[in-house]
Amino acid sequence: MKLYDADPAPSPRRVRIYLAEKAISVERVLVDLKSGEHLQPGYLAINPRGTVPALQLDDGEVIGDSTAICRFFEALHPDPPLFGARPVEIARITAWTRRVEAEGYAACVYALRNVAGRFADRAEPGHWPELPQIPALAARGKRMWEAFSIMLDARLASSEWVAGDRYSYADITALVTVDFAKAVKLKLPEGVSHLRRWHDAVVARPSASA
């Protein structure tokens, strides 16, 4: 197996943190996003979506989505469970992961890709015909980010981890999202002390530096 990976992009980092938590090692192939290697024919032949991460299995099949890659490994190595064990845990972790992606991660993507010059006509990640930037979406992304952070802080006021009383894939997703927001200069609102307490705890895990 080969994991097509890139530093310091958030989606590949999500897979690396997951693999570190599970103590799974996979051969890594670095793709240079800065030079646009992911949009060259060589990489598009592997993953036509033109995004990282992508996991190429030994039979050649390619899984081109970070959560799908982690679910693949979870099915192979269920312990420790990061997608939940009991049905209700699985439901909670899925719901929180999807909410963090749709409200927090999407806010960062909108805020970054609709203004930064290097993403002109590439307003979404990956291989698209031509996707113009809409600056109003960047402004909306900023509003979404503030509302999302306040919502997550309220959640973490009553829950140790994002999806309940155990660290899970939802925490991994939220960690890469919060760090992505910082990298694209989206600030945390004043007073989100529960979110900061949680962030200190997830960053202290050795997997955070994977």
Ligand X SMILES: N[C@@H](CCC(=O)N[C@@H](CS)C(=O)NCC(=O)O)C(=O)O
28-50 residues labelled b (16+ CB within 10 A) or e (exposed): beebebeeeebeeeebeebbebb
Applying CB under 6 A, which of residues 10, 84, 104, 141 lies at the interface with ligand X? 10
CB 57 within 8 A of CB 63: yes
Radius of gyration for the chain, computed over Cα atoms and rounded to the nearest angstrom: 17
Is-contact 107 145, C-beta < 8 A?
Answer: yes
Q: Segment near ligand X (CB under 6 A), from 48-56, 137-145, 151-159, 188-196?
A: 48-56
Interacting residues with ligand X between 176 and 195 (CB under 6 A): none
Q: Which of 4, 51, 93, 178 binds ligand X (CB under 6 A)?
A: 51
**Which among 7-15, 80-88, 129-137, 184-192 is the span making contact with ligand X, rule CB under 6 A?**
7-15
Chosen residue from 38, 92, 99, 142 binding ligand X by CB under 6 A: 38
137 binds ligand X (CB under 6 A): no
Query: Which position among 3, 52, 138, 178 is part of the footprint of ligand X (CB under 6 A)?
Result: 52
Under a CB-based contact definition with an 8 Å cutoff, are residues 50 and 66 in contact?
no
Q: For the segment 54-93, give every residue that binds ligand X (CB under 6 A).
A: 65-66
Nearest to 17 by CA among 181, 210, 193, 191: 210
CA separation for the pair 121, 111 (Å, rounded) = 15
Q: How far is the CB of 102 from ligand X (least distance, A)?
A: 11
| Contacts (CB under 6 A) with ligand X, residues 97-136 | 122, 125-126
Task: Provide, rounded to whole angstroms, the least separation between the CB of residue 1 and ligand X.
Answer: 16
Choose between 5 and 153: whose C-beta lies nearer to ligand X. 5
Does residue 101 contact residue 42 with C-beta atoms inside 8 Å? no
Shorter beta-carbon distance to ligand X: residue 125 or 141: 125
Interface residue with ligand X among 3, 4, 5, 11 (CB under 6 A) is 11
Q: What are phi and psi of 28, to 5 degrees?
A: -105, 140
Return the closest-CA partner of residue 128 out of 65, 49, 36.
49
The residues that touch ligand X, with contacts defined as CB under 6 A, are: 9-11, 33, 38, 51-53, 65-66, 122, 125-126
